[in-house]
Structure 1
Amino acid sequence: MSSPTSPTAPIGVGFIGLSASGGWAARAHLPALAAVPGYEVRALSASSPASAKAAGEKYDIPLAFGSAEELVRCDEVDLVVVTVKVPHHRELVLAALEAGKMVFSEWPLGNGLAEAEELAAVAEAKGIRTFVGLQARSAPPVRYVRDLIADGYVGEVLSTSLIASGLGWGAEFAPGGEYLLDRANGATLLTIPFGHTIDAVTMALGEFTGLEATLATRRPQVRNAATGQLVPMTAPDQVAVSGVLEGGAVASVHFRGGASRATNFHWEINGTDGDLLLTGGSGHLQFGQVTVHGAQGEDTELKELPVPSSYSSVVRLATSGTEVWYPVAHAYDQIRADLAAGTHHAPDFAHAARRHRLLDRVERAAASS
């Protein structure tokens, strides 16, 4: 397994999917890595030598390869970060694993459960450390709420209700976002915002022991915001899941495509001794842009509960804590700590496969309802 040469050596990062034209890797991963000590971005690969050269020059990355195969064989790379579209995850992650490299894959890990389980099995068989981009669980507000619940702030959790908007999968889509509309591509309202958010919900409150679900595509045609052209959408724009969590709490979760004029993120946790509420502007909890409110005991009005500074470990860059890369930085911070201490707190491919199994349960429950 490739690893830094010593416990204090920086982790050499190589990107598959960092483009000169921008995208999630440039928007989130690069500033996150800049904020966390112990990493060096050393390499990238692109679909052609020319596009790799352009990205390398733009981001000042010394090694720019025209193929992923060259990158995964590079001795300077310890950790391969895969940030391409979901249908390409399997082939690129497998290439990195075959080369013996540690891998950080964006979420979803695979296009469906079978791919996720295959990748998790290969990583386990080879004994390679892996990580998956389920960074909502790393966001300071989410970790704070998890600890409040564990410490008894609400007493016994009786129920939880969550309603959220996906922003995407609405009446219009932005240019370049058409691939998200096709359910077969595995990048949907269910797998992305619902998947990220439900991972955080289950971290705080426990897994589903039973569930019922409804998936629907209420807008079978949506409009290209730039051209006005109508195109088909087969991905669901309504995801409704209800069930019982470990410990007996009743859960109700509803994600809607697009944005609402009323509520775009409202997560309520009700207990015998108190209540918690998280609010925000979208259902993408992985961005970490939420405010925590609570009340307990004799209090009858919710009040804001500022997240203690101890939950914000990333201080290398000036930040308001609301940037979309902030939870990603905390995820990288946990990965670095795990590799240094030999621990396994950051979500890995085995965890990703478990989360894919929950999404598969939702799909099967919806199909049978």
Structure 2
Amino acid sequence: MPESKSPLKVGFIGLSSRGWASDVLAPALTQPSLRDKYDLVAVSTTSEASAQASAQKYSQVVGHPVKAYHGSSSSIASDPEIDVIGVSVRVTHHKEVVLPVIEAKKDFWLEWPAGRNTLETKAIAQAARKNGVRSIIGFQSRYSAALQKVKELLASGVIGTVRSSHVVAHIGKELGIWPPVLREASEYGMLPLEKKNGKSPFTPILRALFKLPPRSTHADPQFDFIRIDPSSFGTFVDADGKPTGKTLEVNIPDHFAITGFLKSGALVNLFWRDGYSSGPETGRRQFVWEIDGEDGTIRMEGNGLYGAFPGSQEPDLFLNGKKVEFQAGNPFLSVTAAWQEFAKGKTGDYPTIDDAVKHHELLDAIELSAKEGRRIIL
């Protein structure tokens, strides 16, 4: 469909008083620069009270009444006024919430990983194709200002043919989102630590690599996915850093290395680790991504606490060792860019549910490679 000349009517599921949707997704959607493209007309939460509170809040933001729905997603999905529905709920509920939206033939926004596993994501994709609806998946890191600048540099040919690339990334224990210490306030953020919930620690980097699908992947058995921390539990602490007595079992790795090839034949290597101290006194690098071409090198480096998440904290950018200046972005601007692209219709550059399926298949291949110690060709 071409870019809409009138605002698309939007409903939002999971838009409560706090969380990612309230802090970033909805504010980006309702800012003045997008008012000619989108109009928030309805919200839906789990309870009537929270739905009414959210509707009242956003009625003031957009300057007109916003309808309140609660309970099953089929209620808001059946609203004939709505064109697009945003879904930002726990990963464990992605499929059950978004399928009624799709069956009502509504276009949708769904946060990654768009289902707990490949089977769920494929079911969502199949339903979307069957009902002829458009989708956009929340891979906001691809709209990072630094990554956009890198794409520009690569397109210019300034470093020549790309031959290899490597990423080194780390999540520091100070963030409290990885063992051995977990902030109780981030308990939902701990869901990735339980494999059944569908996420893994390396999906942020795969988001950044979204436009560069590998031809094959290989995880050397010597660098298998392993737990360096001998404990299989993380300990929750309160806002003051005091243990609450609650623990969470962790069953996915805290260290891994991945090697693969892009379609161009360029070699890609990724090393990820979690849970060490991140203070400046350690000298530990949080994020380094180098892209080596025949005629030069592009390097991104971020040493802040959120350095491993380019879409959340912009890295410094260097071309052949010299710093490149650019207008730094943030998660809010990245989401705004995503909404802008979706509004363009078929000409927009945005990830779809079919792209999410490809990413799940990539993650499955990486896991199988590590388990069986062999190269997997995709």
Q: Could you tell me the TM-score, scaled by structure 1's length?
A: 0.85
C-alpha distance in 1 between matches for 2:330 and 2:142: 16
Larger deviation: 277-286 or 170-179? 170-179
Residue 8 of structure 1 corresponds to 5
C-alpha distance in 2 between matches for 1:164 and 1:59: 38
Shift of 1:206: 4.9
What per-residue deviation string (whole Å, max 9, x for no partner) do you get for residues 234-278 of structure 1?
132223211222222221111222453411111011121001111
C-alpha distance in 2 between matches for 1:279 and 1:102: 37
Answer yes or no: is 1:264 the counterpart of 2:286.
yes
Query: Is the Cα–Cα contact under 8 Å of residues 239 and 255 in structure 1 kept in the other structure?
Result: yes
* Runs of 5+ unmatched residues, structure 1: 296-301, 310-320
Alignment of 1:306-325 (within 5 A): 306-307=325-326, 321-325=328-332
**Alignment CA distance shift 1:39-1:258 (3 Å):** farther
C-alpha distance in 1 between matches for 2:6 and 2:101: 21
Residue 330 of structure 1 corresponds to 337
Supply the AA of the counterpart residue of 1:263.
R
C-alpha distance in 2 between matches for 1:64 and 1:239: 45
Answer yes or no: is 1:305 the counterpart of 2:324.
yes
Query: Is the Cα–Cα contact under 8 Å of residues 99 and 124 in structure 2 kept in the other structure?
Result: yes
C-alpha distance in 2 between matches for 1:12 and 1:57: 17
Shift of 1:128: 0.8
Shift of 1:105: 0.3
C-alpha distance in 2 between matches for 1:165 and 1:59: 37
Equivalent of residue 196 in structure 1, options 204, 209, 213: 204
Equivalent of residue 170 in structure 1, options 173, 179, 187: 179
Equivalent of residue 274 in structure 1, options 281, 289, 296: 296
Residue 376 of structure 2 corresponds to none
- RMSD between aligned alpha carbons? 2.2
Identity %: 29
Alignment of 1:159-238 (within 5 A): 159-167=164-172, 168-175=177-184, 176-177=187-188, 178-189=190-201, 194-203=202-211, 205-212=212-219, 214-219=224-229, 220-226=232-238, 228=243, 229=245, 230-238=247-255
**Alignment CA distance shift 1:17-1:62 (3 Å):** same
Query: Is the Cα–Cα contact under 8 Å of residues 179 and 185 in structure 1 kept in the other structure?
Result: yes
Shift of 1:323: 2.9
SS at match of 1:58: helix
SS at match of 2:165: strand
SS at match of 1:285: coil
C-alpha distance in 2 between matches for 1:55 and 1:211: 47
Equivalent of residue 66 in structure 1, options 51, 66, 70: 70
Residue 256 of structure 2 corresponds to 239
Residue 272 of structure 2 corresponds to 255
C-alpha distance in 2 between matches for 1:112 and 1:29: 23
C-alpha distance in 2 between matches for 1:182 and 1:7: 41
Alignment of 1:8-87 (within 5 A): 8-20=5-17, 22-35=18-31, 36-37=33-34, 38-60=37-59, 62-67=66-71, 68-87=73-92
Shift of 1:59: 3.4
**Alignment CA distance shift 1:279-1:40 (3 Å):** same
SS at match of 2:360: helix
Shift of 1:7: 3.2
Shift of 1:102: 0.3
Segments of 4+ moved more than 6 angstroms: none
Shift of 1:218: 3.2
The alignment covers a number of residue pairs equal to 339
C-alpha distance in 1 between matches for 2:267 and 2:210: 12
Residue 132 of structure 1 corresponds to 137
Shift of 1:173: 1.6
Shift of 1:119: 1.0
* Runs of 5+ unmatched residues, structure 2: 60-64, 374-378
**Alignment CA distance shift 1:104-1:169 (3 Å):** same
Larger deviation: 213-222 or 64-73? 213-222
What per-residue deviation string (whole Å, max 9, x for no partner) do you get for residues 281-311 of structure 1?
322223252221111xxxxxx111123x6xx
**Alignment CA distance shift 1:157-1:171 (3 Å):** same
Q: Could you tell me the TM-score, scaled by structure 2's length?
A: 0.83
Supply the AA of the counterpart residue of 2:157.
G
**Alignment CA distance shift 1:143-1:365 (3 Å):** same
Equivalent of residue 319 in structure 2, options 275, 280, 294: 294
Shift of 1:10: 0.7
C-alpha distance in 2 between matches for 1:323 and 1:146: 17
Shift of 1:360: 1.0
C-alpha distance in 1 between matches for 2:150 and 2:90: 31
Shift of 1:344: 5.0
**Alignment CA distance shift 1:156-1:184 (3 Å):** same
